[in-house]
Amino acid sequence: MAHEPLTDLRSFIELLKRENNLLVIDQEVDPYLEIAEIHRRVISCQGPALLFSKVKGSQFPVVTNLFGTHHRLELAFGSRPQNFVRDLVQLTEQIMPLKLKTLWERRHLLQEGLKIGLKTRNGGPILDHCQTTPDLTTLPMLTSWHSDGGPFVTLPLVYTEHPENGGHNLGMYRIQRHDATTTGIHWQIHKGGGYHYHAAERLNQALPMTLYIGGPPALMLAAIAPLPEDIPELMLTSLLLGKKLDMVKDPRGGHRLVANAEFAIKGQVPPHIRHPEGPFGDHYGYNSLEHDYPIFQVSHLYHREGAIYPATVVGRPRQEDFFIGDFLQDLLSPLFPLVMKGVKELKTYGETGFHCLAAARVSNRYSREAFGCGLRILGEGQLSLTKFLIATDGDVDLNDFGQLWCHVLERIDWQQDLFVFANVSQDTLDYTGPSVNKGSKAMMLGLGQEKIRELPRTFSTSLPPGCEHPRVFLPGTLVVQGIPYTEGPEQAERLCAWADLREWPVIILVDNSAEATCSMQEFLWTLFTRFEPAADIHGSAASVNRFHVGLTPPIVFDCRMKPWYTDVLEVDEATRKLVDERSSRLLPPHLR
């Protein structure tokens, strides 16, 4: 949708108002739990963005759900960025041998490319106000879940520069307020800002840091994008924006500032200091626990006149991050074949928190080329934290998981097409492994044009004792309800040894089969967030041939909750009751 570049947050808010895609709530609301629950109810109805104009304990209004539908992302960015990336990829494929005709036909790319960059101005709105004695308690940071360890910045834009080479990183790393001048900084493994910090720490230096809250929508999206480490996020911001990003010098020194940000909080992260951070209800739909992380010491805080505080709420998918992730995949997907040869298409699934499941269409021009393509994916940037990868050379729609899953099950040779890699790093927020950051991953191949089996579609035989309520959710996939893991940890092994189940390629063992099969969303979430490949995949028999473990079906995925897993996020009764009582005054009937 064509409009002037959205150079700041309020220009986007004004656009949403014109499009009748913003609900203004004038009643006072509490950033402690209440705003988050209102947000969750509205996003579950695919409702509008929310502007809370009167927030308890703060002078600043709060806006949430900015990107909670595909339509609002289209409003914010249109199709220009995707077209530019696609055309650029096509040019790289066509430019050799060099032809003037090709360059002339693509001259618009040069014109667009010249708009990308940073432009320093003499002043900007971010300098309107400065707290030289900063007080973070004046900001309306949200506490989203009753189990959270405190208030958090949930749309933090964390800017750092490498202490040795000056390369910059803009990332979204959660920020927990500890006191008026100190926060935690949740740098997980494999995060660019964390690399900067550890490099500074090796030099025994503090790392300067700027925390932005709010700004052009493009700035927020760029901070989330899983870019390779050496691609600067501020350049992606400029590409999304459609013009150079305005910057301004900080009169007090240090990093330049994004001129149209709402807030810019300056300070440093000292070396060798850790402080407990968390718990926090994260985007997998579970609590992440308290762990020690570095701290951010604030020196001063800028904000523009009439600053608006943007926030989001994460939790059990689908939340706002689901739509952002889909948009970024559409934007960046044309680049995948360039950086990962043989990978034709790649998708990570927001229903599983993204890192838990990825699927790819790959080349298999010679025997097992597909395996090499899979390794490229598992070795690329943040994709290396993927827990389960499905790869096929078939012409299937990766957006249709049912079609993909059946296509692979019809072709997989369980003796050679399932690879489990134990003792590797695992996403920090995934607690299915033996300890934090440690776990396993798996790659599952479904290759060739011809099926090697027909998939059963009905179940009419028996189950072993303790198993009940079988449901065929997809062809070849039987979902079975078992006893709690604590009462029968060996139940998965008994299940795959049961004679009446030999025709089933895959059995999913869950705590509640009705809940796990009520929708594709719940199926994917239950399956892929509740098992660890090296511990929870079982076959009726296993053999080792040339150091590879082959399995005999049925293959059982034990997706029951384990004692070391963290709690599923649930709204506490007091907050639910509070919003129930106030909803008639806060929300129109269709959003309650």
Residue-wise pLDDT for 52-69, tens only, equals 999 999 999 999 999 999
Are residues 298 and 416 located together in one domain of the fold?
no
Q: Please report, rounded to a whole number, the percentage of residues in the chain having pLDDT higher than 70.
A: 94
Q: What is the pLDDT of residue 203?
A: 97
Does residue 423 sit within a domain? yes
Please tell me the distance from the alpha carbon of residue 210 to that of residue 158, in angstroms, as a whole number: 6
Residue 104 has pLDDT above 60, yes or no: no
Mean per-residue pLDDT of the chain: 93
Name the least confident of 83-97, 441-455, 459-473.
83-97
Are residues 125 and 169 located together in one domain of the fold?
yes
Are residues 268 and 357 located together in one domain of the fold?
no
382 pLDDT band, cuts 50/70/90, is: confident
Does residue 452 sit within a domain? no
268 pLDDT band, cuts 50/70/90, is: very high
Q: Which residue has the tokens 């096509």?
A: 90
Are residues 162 and 301 located together in one domain of the fold?
yes
Give the domain extent around 437. Answer: 338-446
Token code pair at residue 306: 């009439």
* Sheet containing strand 468-474, strands side by side: 468-474, 477-481, 506-510, 555-558, 537-538
Does residue 157 sit within a domain? yes
Residue 231 has pLDDT above 60, yes or no: yes
Does residue 495 sit within a domain? no
CB-based burial label for 230 (10 Å; 0-12, 13-18, 19+): exposed
592 pLDDT band, cuts 50/70/90, is: confident
- Contact (CB, 8 A) for 144 and 118: no
Provide the CA 130 distance to its chain's centre, in angstroms: 33
- Contact (CB, 8 A) for 236 and 187: no
Q: What is the pLDDT of residue 2?
A: 58
Are residues 357 and 407 located together in one domain of the fold?
yes
Q: What is the pLDDT of residue 86?
A: 74
Are residues 200 and 304 located together in one domain of the fold?
yes
Residue 510 has pLDDT above 70, yes or no: yes
Token code pair at residue 255: 């990093």
CATH assignment at residue 422: 3.40.1670.10
Does residue 176 sit within a domain? yes
- Contact (CB, 8 A) for 178 and 168: no
Are residues 279 and 342 located together in one domain of the fold?
no
Please tell me the distance from the alpha carbon of residue 239 to that of residue 254, in angstroms, as a whole number: 25
Residue 109 has pLDDT above 60, yes or no: no
In this prediction, residues 99-116 reach a mean pLDDT of 60
- Give the residue, 337 or 463, on which the prediction is more confident: 463
Provide the CA 229 distance to its chain's centre, in angstroms: 17
- Give the residue, 232 or 40, on which the prediction is more confident: 40
Are residues 431 and 366 located together in one domain of the fold?
yes
Does residue 174 sit within a domain? yes
Q: What is the pLDDT of residue 112?
A: 65
Please tell me the distance from the alpha carbon of residue 211 to that of residue 175, in angstroms, as a whole number: 9
Name the least confident of 87-101, 116-130, 345-359.
87-101
Name the least confident of 225-229, 304-308, 544-548.
225-229
Task: With H, G, I as helix, E, B as strand and everything else as coil, classify residue 24.
Answer: strand
Residue 324 has pLDDT above 70, yes or no: yes
- Contact (CB, 8 A) for 454 and 442: no
Q: What is the pLDDT of residue 78?
A: 84
- Amino acid residing at 64: T
- Contact (CB, 8 A) for 12 and 6: yes
Domain boundary among 274, 293, 310: 310
Residue 365 has pLDDT above 70, yes or no: yes
- Contact (CB, 8 A) for 27 and 42: no
CATH assignment at residue 68: 2.30.110.10
Does residue 325 sit within a domain? no
Domain boundary among 425, 446, 467: 446
The tally of domains found in the chain comes to 2
Does residue 105 sit within a domain? no
Name the least confident of 77-81, 125-129, 293-297, 580-584.
77-81
431 Cβ partners below 8 Å, 6+ apart?
286, 288, 289, 564, 565, 566
In this prediction, residues 541-550 reach a mean pLDDT of 95
Q: What is the pLDDT of residue 136?
A: 98
Cβ atoms within 10 Å, residue 89: 16
356 pLDDT band, cuts 50/70/90, is: very high
Domain boundary among 384, 413, 446: 446
Residue 212 has pLDDT above 80, yes or no: yes
- Contact (CB, 8 A) for 471 and 514: yes
Please give the helix or strand (H or E) that residue 589 lies within, else none: none
Q: Please report, rounded to a whole number, the percentage of residues in the chain having pLDDT higher than 90.
A: 83
Are residues 261 and 374 located together in one domain of the fold?
no
1 pLDDT band, cuts 50/70/90, is: low
In this prediction, residues 453-459 reach a mean pLDDT of 97
Are residues 390 and 284 located together in one domain of the fold?
no
- Contact (CB, 8 A) for 302 and 126: yes
In this prediction, residues 90-111 reach a mean pLDDT of 58
Q: What is the pLDDT of residue 337?
A: 82
Are residues 354 and 302 located together in one domain of the fold?
no
| End-to-end CA separation in angstroms for the chain | 30
